[in-house]
Each structure stands twice: as structure tokens, then as C-alpha cells.
């Protein structure tokens, strides 16, 4: 068993992250006229216009805002001016797991850039918008918008609303629940036994959110390392990425499964460091990523967990 070295030198700060950060979802909200802290999940994104709100290319509805997070300084891999990011997701009731049909299957017309008719006329993409899909459900869209400090501190953006359109009336895709109920209420109503509970104060409030706070992990030997799996044809070295578990006496069965002491206090929502995927580490991920579960914004991951690489712009989830 390889013993990790937790020491880091200050010279590495310009090359790789120095720490991993656990994220807590707090029992309080971030208000538009208040302190933004480290960000929030659910609610509305800051600093963009509704013309820039990314739409679902399959049916034209706005993607759901999942979270906005202020990045620790050692994770600002796109430059010191890109201090935060907003993550947008396919609505849980519009994902491939639940969709019966899509506007694309209805032979969506191509008359103009916005045939489903959302306010704002011609769409104006944000200059730092990145569109993503995951490997399991490639038709489910996701998006990231990188934010400056001014945008992070900016006013909350309301989603665009559809205007009367004959094609929209014929579409078999209903409006996502979050667009009228708010993401937090829609998620807690559909998942009453989640850690969020019944958020009655969130009903119908699109701006309702939960504040988040990140704190440095005390120990994590994988800070700044590329997450990867090791198989029989490769042996990890002293500086390699380490799995958080091991098999006692090298016996591979449930009774001999053990978690390293340095990993026991790690939280499921975190920035960087050791990854805890459900079905293996996804390919092509670097050290600049966020791992989070369904309650960190309200998604349909089959009760699984997701990883978002905001340097290489990759996304993956598994259950």
C-alpha cells in the first residue's frame, strides 16, 4: 500500500491546485442584494441576460440552472478574471430517462434561430458559453458559463418565457416543472426523502436557492493529479493518483474492502482531489473538476453522482 505525501510546495501553485475543497449545502439562501459567498445551488444564475440563457437544443426550453460556484483561486484555470461558473442542466423531466418524445422527433422547423418562440428574439450566446453532453445519454444537453467577478456579483437573471407560437402548441414536450415551480421545489416535491426535505418556502419561487460553502480538505493525496484507474497492466507509482479504497490482504471481496484513513472524511460534493465515481473514473478528466450529487441543484442522475471538468469542458455521470 502506497503511503501518500501530503506536503506541497508553494512553487506548485502556478502549475496545479494546492488543495481540494469539500462543499456544504447550507440551510440558508443567497439573496440578490446580499453577500454571494461561495455561490449557491438551485435558483437563478447571475450576471447574464435572458437572451444569453442557454436553451435545450432538443425542445427549445431553457436549460435549468443547477449551481453557480465561486472558484477557489487555485482552480481559476481559465485565468484570474474567470472567478466563477454557472452550470446548466437538462430538466429532470426532460432527460432521456423520462422523455416520451422531443421536438426534434416532431420534425422541428428550421425557420429562424428560435422556432419555438422564446422572448428575446434572436438568441445571443454568452461569449463564454460551453455546451456539454455526457457519455451515457448523449442527447441530454448541459452547459457552463464562465463568469467574471462583475457577473458573479450581478443581478439574478430570469429565464426567457415562451410567447404564443403555433408550433409550440403542437409540441408533445410539456413545460419543465422548474420553469413554473422553481428548481428547488420541483426537486423536493419529486424526491421528498432527499436531504433537502420538503422546502415549502420554495414553492413557485424561481429565485429560491441554497447557499454553498467550500472548505479545504485536511488530507487528500490526489490534489493536482489526473484521476485515473489502474488495471493489471499498469502499476501506480509513488506520485500516481491513489484510489481511496484498498483490499485488505489483497483479497478482493466485500468483507475485505477498506477505505483509507485519509479518505474517510471526504464529502461527496467537492472541487478537485480524489474522485468517487459510481462506475469508474471517466476518461479525459483533469484535476480541475467538480463532483456533485443530485441534491446539488436537482437533477436526474438515477441517484448517482456527476463529474464536471471545467478546464477540458467534459461532463459525466453514472448511477
Reported as half-sphere exposure (CB side, CA atoms, 13 A), residue 69 has a value of 31
The predicted-structure confidence for 218-232, as pLDDT tens digits, reads as follows: 999 999 999 998 765
pLDDT at 171: 53
Return the pLDDT at 149. 98
- The predicted structure's pLDDT at residue 106: 43
The pLDDT value recorded for residue 5 is 45
Percent of the chain with pLDDT over 70: 81
User: CA 43, CA 205: separation in Å to the nearest integer?
Assistant: 8
- What is the predicted pLDDT for the residue at 202? 87
pLDDT digits (tens, 9 = 90+) for 92-118: 998 864 544 444 444 444 334 444 555
Low-confidence spans in the chain with pLDDT less than 50 = 1-14, 97, 99-115, 120-121, 164-170
Q: What pTM does this model have?
A: 0.87
At residue 71, the pLDDT reads 98
Domain-by-domain residue ranges, the chain? 14-318
Tabulate helix, strand, coil % of the chain (nearest 5).
15, 20, 65
Number of residues assigned to the chain: 319
Amino acid at each position: 500500500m502506497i503511503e501518500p505525501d501530503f506536503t506541497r510546495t508553494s512553487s506548485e501553485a502556478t502549475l496545479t491546485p494546492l488543495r481540494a475543497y469539500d462543499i456544504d449545502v447550507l440551510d440558508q439562501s443567497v439573496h440578490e442584494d446580499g453577500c454571494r459567498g461561495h455561490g449557491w445551488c438551485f435558483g437563478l444564475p447571475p450576471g447574464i441576460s435572458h437572451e444569453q440563457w442557454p436553451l435545450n437544443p432538443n425542445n427549445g426550453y431553457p436549460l435549468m440552472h443547477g449551481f453557480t460556484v465561486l472558484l477557489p483561486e487555485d482552480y481559476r484555470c481559465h485565468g484570474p478574471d474567470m472567478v466563477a461558473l454557472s452550470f446548466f442542466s437538462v430538466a429532470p423531466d426532460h432527460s432521456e430517462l423520462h422523455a416520451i418524445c422531443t421536438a426534434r422527433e416532431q420534425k422541428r422547423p428550421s425557420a429562424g434561430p428560435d422556432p419555438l418562440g422564446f422572448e428575446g428574439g434572436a438568441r445571443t450566446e454568452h461569449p463564454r458559453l460551453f455546451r456539454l453532453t455526457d457519455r451515457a445519454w448523449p442527447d441530454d444537453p448541459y452547459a457552463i458559463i464562465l463568469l467574471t467577478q462583475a457577473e458573479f456579483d450581478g443581478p439574478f437573471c430570469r429565464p426567457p418565457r415562451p410567447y404564443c407560437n403555433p408550433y409550440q402548441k403542437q409540441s408533445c414536450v410539456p413545460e419543465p416543472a422548474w420553469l413554473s415551480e422553481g428548481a428547488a421545489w420541483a426537486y423536493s416535491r419529486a424526491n421528498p426523502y432527499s436531504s433537502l426535505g420538503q422546502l415549502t418556502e420554495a414553492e413557485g419561487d424561481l429565485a429560491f436557492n441554497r447557499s454553498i460553502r467550500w472548505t479545504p480538505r485536511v488530507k487528500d493525496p490526489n490534489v493536482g493529479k489526473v484521476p485515473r484507474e489502474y488495471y493489471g497492466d499498469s502499476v501506480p507509482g509513488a506520485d500516481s493518483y491513489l484510489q481511496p479504497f484498498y483490499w485488505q490482504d489483497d483479497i478482493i471481496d466485500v468483507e475485505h474492502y477498506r477505505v483509507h484513513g485519509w479518505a474517510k472524511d471526504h464529502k461527496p460534493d467537492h472541487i478537485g482531489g480524489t474522485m468517487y465515481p459510481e462506475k469508474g473514473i471517466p476518461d479525459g478528466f483533469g484535476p480541475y473538476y467538480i463532483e456533485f450529487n443530485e441534491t446539488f441543484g436537482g437533477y436526474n442522475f438515477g441517484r448517482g453522482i456527476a463529474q464536471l471538468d471545467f478546464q477540458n469542458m467534459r461532463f459525466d455521470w453514472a448511477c
